[in-house]
């Protein structure tokens, strides 16, 4: 399979924050969720990919090509949606389109018109008068109207209501499944990704915790619940994290068979959500 995004040992240091040796890669036609708590380095990574920040070390290949040396060619094939509206609020969607369209080699005006109609977006209202959801959909319409092969989204769902979020996810799945586009999607709302994502890259405090197929991740980890007396210091070593309350404990662990053997039949073992996994990993790092 052809890799459309490869990040190798990417490092970038700011005052008080370091993106440390990030590596990940994805293929076309798949959706990769890029998750992590706020401040984990998701936006920094995306900005480095888009060459908005300059890396200290490492390599970024998009469509197999260096993202700086082939910047223009690459950006012709990337559609982007950012969490804030970075468009000119004083312009109308139509005016903004007239500015953007000539910049893209493969601009498809029919596609744009169709998306504008499908999203029920006004052409002649100032962008600042659109709702947050409409602004996101407008960004998406632009991102999908120039035959991009890779969609890069930085927290596109933040601040949106569940209906619009669902709508966005539907579109992303259909473009990735039908048109073979790759979708790289950062979010701290992981429930968006529990179902549709193919791969998950989880970063925390500037480091990659894991980057692999979502199914493997969800199968490898399990959520264990049981009575407080069951776990002592020795048992706790088998957990990534544990939360105890007066009536019992809940923890994230890896090998469910082993856990079952160790703790017996009285415990409840459940499938974790990405949120559970993220939470326990983030807590572990805080404690350490």
Partner 1 sequence: MNIIISNSSEEPIYEQIVRQIKNHIMRGELNAGDLLPSIRVLAKELQISVITTKRAYDELEREGYLETVPGKGSYVAAQNKQLLREMRYRIVEEKLAEAVDAAKSIELGKDELLNMLNILYEEE
Partner 2 sequence: MLSLMLKDIYLLKRTMAFSALYLVFMLFVFSSLDSAAGVFTFCMVAITHMLMVSSCALDEKNKSDVILNSLPLSRQVIVGARYLMVIIYMLFAVAVYGLGTWVIGMLNMIPNLYYITLDGLIGAFLASSVITSIYLPFYFRLGYIKSRIYYFILFFGLFFGINLLASKVITDSTILSRTGLFLAKQNDTVVGIITAGAAIAMLAISYGISLRLYKKREF
Q: For residues 81 and 141, what is the distance between their CA atoms, to the nearest angstrom? A: 10
The reply to whether 194 sits near partner 2 by the rule CB under 8 A is no
67's contact among partner 1, partner 2, none, with CB below 5 to 8 A by partner kind, is none
Q: For partner 2, how many residues bind (rule: CB under 8 A)?
A: 30
Q: Among residues 2, 105, 125, 177, which is the contact residue for partner 2, using CB under 8 A?
A: 105
Nearest to 31 by CA among 145, 274, 194: 194
The reply to whether 52 sits near partner 2 by the rule CB under 8 A is yes
What is the DSSP code (8-state) at residue 148? -
Cβ neighbours for 178, distance < 8 A, ≥ 6 positions apart: none
Q: For residues 275 and 262, what is the distance between their CA atoms, to the nearest angstrom? A: 25
The reply to whether 13 sits near partner 2 by the rule CB under 8 A is no
CB of 199 to partner 1, least distance (A): 8
The pairing of beta strand 239-245 with beta strand 222-226: unpaired
The pair of three-digit structure tokens given for residue 193, joined into one six-digit string: 């990704």
The pair of three-digit structure tokens given for residue 172, joined into one six-digit string: 């992303």
Nearest to 143 by CA among 199, 195, 183: 183
CB of 74 to partner 2, least distance (A): 8
Ranges within 20-49 binding partner 2 (CB under 8 A): 47
Nearest to 104 by CA among 47, 138, 64, 149: 149
The reply to whether 177 sits near partner 1 by the rule CB under 8 A is yes
Residue 58 has phi, psi (to 5 degrees) of 105, -175
Q: For residues 172 and 68, what is the distance between their CA atoms, to the nearest angstrom? A: 27
Residue 255 has phi, psi (to 5 degrees) of -95, 100
The reply to whether 185 sits near partner 2 by the rule CB under 8 A is no
The reply to whether 73 sits near partner 2 by the rule CB under 8 A is yes
Q: Please say whether the beta carbons of 30 and 183 come within 8 A.
A: yes
Question: Candidates 20-28, 52-60, 160-168, 239-247 — which segment interacts with partner 2 by CB under 8 A?
Answer: 52-60
Nearer to partner 1, 20 or 27 (CB): 27
* 197-216 footprint of partner 1 as x/- string (CB under 8 A): xxx-------------xxx-
Question: Candidates 44-52, 175-183, 230-238, 241-249 — which segment interacts with partner 1 by CB under 8 A?
Answer: 175-183
The reply to whether 114 sits near partner 2 by the rule CB under 8 A is no
The reply to whether 89 sits near partner 1 by the rule CB under 8 A is no
The reply to whether 173 sits near partner 1 by the rule CB under 8 A is yes
Nearer to partner 1, 39 or 162 (CB): 162
The reply to whether 194 sits near partner 1 by the rule CB under 8 A is yes
Q: How many CB atoms lie within 10 A of CB 37?
A: 18
Nearer to partner 2, 101 or 240 (CB): 101
CB of 35 to partner 1, least distance (A): 15
Nearest to 142 by CA among 170, 166, 173, 121: 121
Q: Is 229 helix (H, G, I), strand (E, B) or coil?
A: helix
Positions touching partner 2 (CB under 8 A) are 47, 50-54, 71-73, 75-76, 78, 80, 82, 84, 86-91, 95, 98-105
Positions touching partner 1 (CB under 8 A) are 29-31, 169-170, 173-174, 176-178, 194-199, 213-215, 219, 270-271
């Amino acid at each position: 399979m052809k890799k459309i995004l490869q990040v190798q040992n990417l490092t970038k240091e700011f005052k008080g924050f370091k993106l440390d040796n990030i590596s990940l890669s994805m293929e076309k036609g798949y959706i990769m969720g890029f998750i992590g708590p706020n401040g984990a380095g998701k936006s920094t990574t995306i900005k480095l990919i888009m060459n908005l920040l300059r890396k200290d070390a490492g390599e970024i290949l998009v469509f197999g090509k260096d993202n700086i040396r082939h910047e223009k060619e690459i950006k012709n094939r990337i559609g982007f949606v950012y969490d804030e509206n970075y468009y000119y609020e004083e312009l109308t969607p139509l005016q903004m389109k007239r500015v953007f369209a000539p910049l893209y080699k493969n601009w498809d005006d029919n596609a744009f018109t169709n998306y504008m109609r499908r999203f029920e977006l006004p052409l002649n209202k100032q962008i600042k008068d659109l709702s947050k959801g409409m602004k996101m959909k407008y960004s998406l319409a632009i991102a999908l109207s120039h035959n991009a092969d890779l969609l890069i989204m930085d927290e596109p769902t933040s601040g949106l209501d569940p209906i619009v979020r669902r709508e966005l996810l539907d579109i992303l799945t259909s473009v990735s499944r039908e048109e073979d586009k790759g979708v790289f999607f950062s979010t701290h709302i992981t429930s968006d990704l529990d179902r549709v994502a193919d791969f998950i890259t989880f970063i925390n405090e500037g480091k990659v915790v894991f980057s692999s197929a979502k199914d493997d991740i969800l199968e490898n980890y399990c959520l264990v619940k049981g009575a407080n007396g069951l776990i002592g210091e020795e048992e706790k070593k088998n957990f990534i994290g544990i939360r105890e309350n007066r009536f019992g404990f809940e923890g994230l662990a890896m090998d469910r068979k082993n856990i079952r053997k160790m703790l017996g039949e009285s415990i409840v073992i459940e499938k974790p959500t990405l949120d559970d996994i993220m939470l326990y990993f983030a807590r572990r790092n805080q404690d350490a």
